[in-house]
Amino acid sequence: MGIENTRSGGEGLERSCKGAVAGWLASSTPVEGVELFRASLTGEVYQKHRHDTYAVGVTDRGVQVFDYRGSARVSTRGQVVVLYPDEAHDGRAGTADGFGYRIIYIEPAYLCEALRAARGRPYPLPFVSEPVSVNARLSRAVEEAFRTSLESLSVDSLIVELAEGLMSAERGGRPAASPRVDVSAVERARRFLDAERTRVVHSSELEPITGLTRYDLARQFRIMLGTSPHRYLLMRRLAFARDRIHQQCPLVDVACEAGFADQAHFTRAFKSAFGLTPARYRALRAGPADLTGRRPVH
């Protein structure tokens, strides 16, 4: 699996945050839709942004502070952080020593599939009301994911463990009864959006594919995948753009290939999704890869 790592002292980086950022980050995508991400950072790192994935992580060191659902949240070493899809949040160090964390980003569709297989019926995404907690099951799942070389079967096991762990951590926020969802229709829409990720897709194109009105599709899509069809498509375009950045493509070409109207539009969308501008993200990844936390030697 491809892994990349970076180290940065903050010099020469674009200043989009109030404080200077220093540190390194690394990521790996063992299978499409599952990303392992590790970082050690100082300063006010991430401005407000959203992911269309579920995020489950563990703070490794220091104090991690982020604004989420109207409150400042604090996570210290050993605590688990759970972020629901499409929820706005930022990220910063709580002390001058910075913070380190490991986190798994996973597409909601995988979790829904695992829960449906376990229960024999469609099941909505687990809603964990408290984003910071001590949760041994989720902590073990994250530890194991970063300890082993993930392949197909181990990824399946990880997804099941995360799904069941999130269910056990769920505290309200959703009705007990499962809403009625046309799973196959939502899946057809998702596959179409995946295939057409580098262009604008209109609701009128999805209605004949799914057999649902645009309003029914929007509701059911969010129930199953945690986000809207529009947001899902945007994140697919940004994921494609990020892959091209990993391949060292010029940012102006990346914006064009990913279907953005111009560089400014691309920069705004990327920063909104990942909390960093494309230029800053590329600078933080400019080094050899290592998810173990070892810094590259220059």
Give the domain ranges of the chain: 3-175, 183-274
pLDDT of residue 81: 97
Architecture of domain 3-175: Sandwich (2.60)
pLDDT of residue 6: 40
183-274 belongs to CATH 1.10.1040.50: no
pLDDT band at 172; cut points 50, 70, 90: very low
What is the pTM for the complete model shown?
A: 0.66
Query: How much is the average pLDDT of 17-29?
Result: 68
Min mean pLDDT across 108-112, 138-142, 200-204 is at: 200-204
Share of the chain above pLDDT 70, in %: 83
What's the mean pLDDT when you consider all of the chain?
A: 83
* Dihedral pair phi/psi, residue 215, rounded to 5°: -75, -40
pLDDT of residue 3: 36
* Dihedral pair phi/psi, residue 244, rounded to 5°: -70, -35
Query: How much is the average pLDDT of 141-156?
Result: 76
Domains 3-175 and 183-274 agree in fold: no
Q: Is the pLDDT of residue 151 over 70?
A: no
